[in-house]
Amino acid sequence: MEFNLENIVRKNIWNLKPYSSARSEFDLYGSDKNELTLLDANENPKGDLNRYPDPLQSSIKEELAKQKDISPNQIFVGNGSDEAIDLLYRIFCEPGKDTVITCPPTYGMYEVSAAINDVSVLKVPLNDRFELNVDEILEEISACADIKLLWICSPNNPTGNVLLKADLKHDWQAQNYTRGGMMDMPFAPEFEAEMLENQRQLDRLFGSFNGIIVVDEAYQDFTENMSFIKRLEDYPNLVVLQTMSKAHGMAGARVGFAFSSPEIIELFNRTKPPYNVNELSQKAVLEALQNEEKTKNEIEEIINNRDFLMEHLNSFNFIKEVYPSEANFVLAKVENATQVYNYLRDKGIIIRNRSSQIEDTLRFTVGTMMECKAVITALREIKEN
């Protein structure tokens, strides 16, 4: 199926003439503001934050473009990933008419945002191993012409596993190199077959859908798997979401990203509020992105702490299963999960009870080593009692 962007965009959005702000008509950013007499935006002439922020977050996009090896016009910067999620509904989904697919258990905001935008949700649950049911997704797409978005959270929240792999060849090489091998190590025969099957499934999924496939990579930094940003040129109906909230430790700044084709990103920019990311957040995000060594060290620390937490969670007989995780959290199946949750809460340790999504499960965010040890100590008291 040939992807046609105009056919799936809401007509009012396709024809929308965006608001033209003073700061978009005159490109102030990159200029020496002290040499300009700025009387175009009805700003107060005094104050540390008296000027409107860059409406297109140019400095952030330039830095991200270098790091991701893409063009700045393939990047949208938003008020958290939540803004990008909402914009996808507003750009592509007709209220009261269109449908999206989610694959539960998954991030709940996809469904909440659908309800806000009066869009129907068709659920294709993950299988018992928390894997995508690609065949059923394709059946639903074939049966309903009004499906506009497919949401895939990978690594998935709350299960922690990767649902969709961009390129197994890259992952094989990266894993072998990490373990001391060479990047060009030959593939095992069984892996070569798996690699070809993975690519076949990707081509089936993207090629059979004249809608948008959204791969939410909020936890991408905690896995060795290649980002789908590397596949943007291969799949014109792909949008990838990432965030500053997790690996960069900037949840309070509320900044997230969407990566896609220039044509889709232009629709994001056309539809968003003119000044959607404030000046303080823009400066903080740029500084964090440029401090790559600090981020790398913190990611390594979280992964080490994750391994420690998983190892010790596995030592308790009332914890029935600790699921593999490639995120900054661990999901565990726990006997009397709500009782354990309440016990930890009373000890001042706040985790997430996910039993409403997956029966008898608790989700542990990976904190500092001291916090991880506090969890284990509290759980050991349960065991002793």
Domains of the chain: 5-290 (3.40.640.10), 293-384 (3.90.1150.10)
Q: Sort strands 256-259 and 319-322 into parallel, antiparallel or unpaired.
A: unpaired
Rounded-to-integer distance, Cα 240 and Cα 218, Å:
9
Model confidence, pTM:
0.94
DSSP 163: S
Question: Chain centroid to CA 226: how far?
Answer: 14
pLDDT in tens, the chain (385 residues): 689 999 999 999 999 999 988 888 877 766 666 788 889 999 999 999 999 999 999 999 999 999 999 999 999 999 999 999 999 999 999 999 999 999 999 999 999 999 999 999 999 999 999 999 999 999 999 999 999 999 999 999 999 999 999 988 766 666 654 555 555 556 666 777 888 888 999 999 999 999 999 999 999 999 989 999 999 999 999 999 999 999 999 999 999 999 999 999 999 999 999 999 999 999 999 999 999 999 999 999 999 999 999 999 999 999 999 999 999 999 999 999 999 999 999 999 999 999 999 999 999 999 999 999 999 999 999 866 6
**If you count them, how many residues does the chain have?**
385
pLDDT at residue 12, as a whole number:
97
pLDDT at residue 185, as a whole number:
59
Residues contacting 94, CB < 8 A, separation 6+:
10
Rounded-to-integer distance, Cα 276 and Cα 57, Å:
9
Spatial contact of 30 and 38, defined as CB atoms under 8 Å apart: no
User: Could you give the residue ranges of the DSSP H alpha helices within the chain?
Assistant: 5-8, 11-14, 22-25, 58-68, 80-92, 109-116, 134-143, 168-178, 189-207, 262-271, 279-290, 292-313, 337-346, 369-384
pLDDT at residue 120, as a whole number:
98
Nearest to 295 by CA among 240, 367, 329, 246: 246
Torsion from C-alpha of 25, 28, 31, 32, nearest 10 degrees: 140
DSSP characters for 277-309? S-HHHHHHHHHHHH-HHHHHHHHHHHHHHHHHH
Joined tokens for residue 131? 């894997």
